[in-house]
């Protein structure tokens, strides 16, 4: 993972709606999800979720941050895919085969 793990915790909470479900989905402790989201909120200086009966609902700013976070994660996937392709090409060239 190239991106800050806090981004992945934030996106998991966006997707799953509770810290318990986000923690289970990311194999992280519930407290880690809370800490990561609180750190992002502190950094941007705004609340990104409304908390209601144990559920987390994105604020308007939270929705905007989610879109940017998804772009970051997609860029990370593209970087890793490009690196893998280059490695495969280099391995194929060394062994005398072409993909």
**Which domains occur in the chain, in start order?**
5-92 (1.10.10.10)
Q: What is the CA radius of gyration of the chain?
A: 18
Q: Look at residues 98, 97, 4, 10 and name the one whose alpha carbon lies nearest to residue 58.
A: 10
Q: Look at residues 47, 27, 28 and name the one whose alpha carbon lies nearest to residue 37.
A: 47
Q: Per the structure block, which two tokens stand in for 30?
A: 């519930």
Q: Where are the beta strands (DSSP E) in 1-99?
A: 49-52, 55-58
pTM for this entry: 0.82
Host H or E run for residue 24? helix 19-26
pLDDT in tens, the chain (99 residues): 677 999 999 999 999 999 999 999 999 999 999 999 999 999 999 999 999 988 999 999 999 999 999 999 999 999 999 998 888 887 776 666 555
């Amino acid at each position: 993972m190239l991106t800050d793990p806090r981004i992945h915790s934030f996106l998991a909470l966006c997707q799953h709606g509770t810290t318990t479900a986000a923690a289970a989905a990311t194999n992280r402790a519930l407290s880690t999800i809370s800490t990561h989201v609180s750190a992002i909120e502190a950094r941007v200086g705004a609340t990104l979720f409304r908390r209601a009966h144990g559920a987390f609902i994105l604020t308007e700013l939270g929705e905007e941050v989610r879109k940017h976070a998804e772009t970051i994660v997609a860029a990370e996937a593209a970087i890793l895919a490009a690196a893998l392709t280059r490695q495969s090409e280099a391995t194929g060239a060394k062994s005398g085969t072409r993909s």
